[in-house]
Amino acid sequence: MPKNDFFIGWSPEMPTIDRRFFLGSGVALTLGTGAIAAGVASGQNPPQPGGWNMGEVRDFKAVATAEPYAMLRTTDVDGTPKTVLLGCQGKCGVSAKIGALSGKAVTVKGSLIQRGPYAMIAVIDGLDWIREDTEGNASLAFPAIETLGEIKLKGEILDTKCWFGAMNPNQGKVHKACASLCIRGGLPPAFYVKDIRDQQALMIMTDRGLAHGKDLLEFVADPVELTATAKRWGDLLLVDGPVSGIRRL
């Protein structure tokens, strides 16, 4: 009989052929698992550049408006006149709380959410997040809105707070439920466009000059085509039109 190794359950030594098999299999399994993990990781979207330092709460001196969404015109972000959106600490807008202070100089307390040129202030909880500033800079009044013309764009509807840096990932199917809750709660919706050269644009969405309602929710985070009017409001781009101008792709 050939002198081949034979496995004996009670033997203290494993046959040479089995030791070689398990050693090779273990090395191959380890390397294969690492390669699969690296491949999956490389296919993921990179982290977005926005951020929110929730612990850095400070005052922002500005002129406020409640329409179409809660916004400020302030120089306290980067030293230049800038339009900054407002939101609560959670998934809600604060337009209704501005009330009679709309159009007036105010001081707002909150933390900054920022992604490149886009910014939002998450105001502190409670009723004292905004107060009139009688010594404020009235020259910060919002500029006139300029109509640019009719446009047709393909892109995605998302919520501004998460996209600015409050959440990551902040767009696409994985963020659909969160974006829907944010927009339902009154946070400003935006239309995100990205072309084949990786040029990006974000446009705040309005409906004939007013805030969009809940009928926008069925299109959130899906690929859509939008036909509307492009407008410029200072440093903000707006896309103004009813929900009937949106078509799912």
pLDDT at 42: 64
pTM greater than 0.85 (yes/no): no
Establish whether domains 51-140 and 145-248 are of one fold: yes
| d(C-alpha 138, C-alpha 69), whole Å | 20
Which residues are CB-contacts of 14 (< 8 A; sequence separation ≥ 6)?
Answer: 7, 22
| d(C-alpha 186, C-alpha 202), whole Å | 18
Q: What are the structure tokens assigned to 99, written together?
A: 């009330």
H-helix or E-strand containing 247?
A: strand 246-248
pLDDT at 16: 73
Q: Closest Cα to residue 204, out of 222, 216, 189?
A: 189
pLDDT at 26 over 90: no
What angle is formed at CA 52 by the lines to CA 46 and CA 53, rounded to 5 degrees? 130
Instruction: Name 201's bridge partners.
Output: 193
pLDDT at 106: 94
The beta-strand segments (E) located in 124-242 are: 130-132, 145-159, 189-194, 200-206, 223-233, 236-240
Give mean pLDDT, residues 218-247: 95
CATH architecture of 145-248: Beta Barrel (2.40)
Q: What are the structure tokens assigned to 62, written together?
A: 């500005």
- Determine the residue type at 223: P
| d(C-alpha 64, C-alpha 131), whole Å | 10
**pLDDT grade for 210, boundaries at 50, 70 and 90:** very high
| d(C-alpha 183, C-alpha 204), whole Å | 12
**pLDDT grade for 9, boundaries at 50, 70 and 90:** low
- Parse the chain into domains and list their residue ranges: 51-140, 145-248
In this predicted model, what pLDDT tens digit does every residue of 38-77 receive, in sequence order? 777 666 655 556 789 888 999 999 999 999 999 999 999 9
Q: Name the region of 226 (left: φ>0; alpha: ψ -120 to 50; beta: rest).
A: beta
In this predicted model, what pLDDT tens digit does every residue of 141-199 receive, in sequence order? 899 999 999 999 999 999 999 999 888 776 778 889 999 999 999 999 999 997 767 77
CATH topology of domain 51-140: OB fold (Dihydrolipoamide Acetyltransferase, E2P) (2.40.50)
